[in-house]
Amino acid sequence: MRTRLQLGTTPAEHTPLDDDVEDRIALAADILASRRVAVLTGAGISTDSGIPDYRSPGSPPRTPMTLEMFLSSADFRRHYWARNHLGWRHMDAALPNSAHLALTDLQRRGRVTRVLTQNVDMLHTKAGTRGVIELHGCYGRVRCLDCGWRISRHQLAVLLEAANPGFAERVRGQGAIEVAPDADTTLADTSDFAMIDCANCGGILKPDIVYFGETVPKDVVDEAYSVVDDADALIVVGSSLTVMSGLRFARRAHRAGKPLIIVNRGVTRADELAVLKIDHEAGFVLPALATF
């Protein structure tokens, strides 16, 4: 079961802060005072913007896209692009929430250096955060797997609309669309959808997103390591750190003796490394932290 969304969905109300969480936020502020802080974010920071995540408590089971699935057949890719043709619009319409804006505010005040994100939703950039490192790419770019040619998702949408007149309107007319965290949707019949190949070489087009089974490009990892190395502390927000693409940065900060603070609903793989864990919604914790 995937989250059923309409454009403009408003997030659920937060659980109120209790005394323990308030004390932990105050302690985090003390730990981070006068320190240059790097931030690593995951899907949990974007749920208040109407984008579902994979692993927070209460989330329905989801099967993320793998590279093997995408490359398995032309029919599968056509089916995928038909679903993405609808799903990316929901992600594109999403707006930054209070957690994204709080990080931008902290950066403008010189307290946050840069943000590393595992998300592909571009909400940090929409919020005005500078120098965001997108570890897993973003939904807004598409590239050819054969020649490397790139096109924006907006430009591809125009081409797909021309090749599939009325498709989006016909599906939207059937009711709310079920959207997944990677801009995918659930559609039963996509047999009449026409896919677009690379305009440069006719090769396979793929969202510029790191699927499960792929590795984050080395230059991106190296730049992210440099951000962690240059900072005095690391905050992890909204990530269970289940995959190594995020966990390695928490481990690197810990090995360097830098304070690691985790803000996440539920258990993470780095809880034992953290000097402080705040088990609460990012949308409450980060704005509160920004007031100190």
Q: What is the per-residue pLDDT across 195-229, written as a single tens digit (0 to 9) for each? A: 999 999 999 999 999 998 899 999 999 999 999 99
pLDDT score recorded for residue 53 = 73
**Does 157 or 180 have the greater pLDDT score?**
157
Is 254 one of the annotated active-site residues of the chain? no
CATH of domain 58-93+137-209: 3.30.1600
Amino acid making up residue 259: P
User: For the chain, which residues make up each domain, given as ranges?
Assistant: 16-51+96-136+216-292, 58-93+137-209
| Residue 201 and residue 146 in contact, taking contact as beta carbons nearer than 8 Å | yes
pLDDT score recorded for residue 105 = 97
Q: In whole angstroms, what separates CA 102 from the centre of its chain?
A: 17
Whether the pLDDT of residue 240 is over 60: the answer is yes
Whether the pLDDT of residue 178 is over 50: the answer is yes
Which of these, 125, 142, 124, 116, lies nearest to 245 by C-alpha position? 116
Which of these, 114, 117, 120, lies nearest to 87 by C-alpha position? 120
Per annotation, catalytic residue among 79, 136, 154, 280: 136
pLDDT score recorded for residue 60 = 53
Count Cα atoms within 13 angstroms, Cβ side, for 156.
28
Whether the pLDDT of residue 63 is over 90: the answer is no
pLDDT score recorded for residue 83 = 86
pLDDT score recorded for residue 11 = 40
Helices (H), 3-150: 19-32, 67-71, 74-93, 98-108, 123-127
**Does 46 or 168 have the greater pLDDT score?**
46
User: Residue 121 — pLDDT band, cuts 50, 70, 90?
Assistant: very high
Query: Which homologous superfamily does the CATH classification assign to the domain defined by 16-51+96-136+216-292?
Result: TPP-binding domain (3.40.50.1220)
pLDDT score recorded for residue 58 = 56
3-state secondary structure of 236: strand
Which of these, 236, 240, 266, lies nearest to 249 by C-alpha position? 236
pLDDT score recorded for residue 14 = 52
User: Residue 169 — pLDDT band, cuts 50, 70, 90?
Assistant: confident
**Any bridge partners for residue 151, and if so which?**
142
Tokens 């995928």 sit on residue: 80
Whether the pLDDT of residue 4 is over 50: the answer is no
pLDDT score recorded for residue 182 = 61
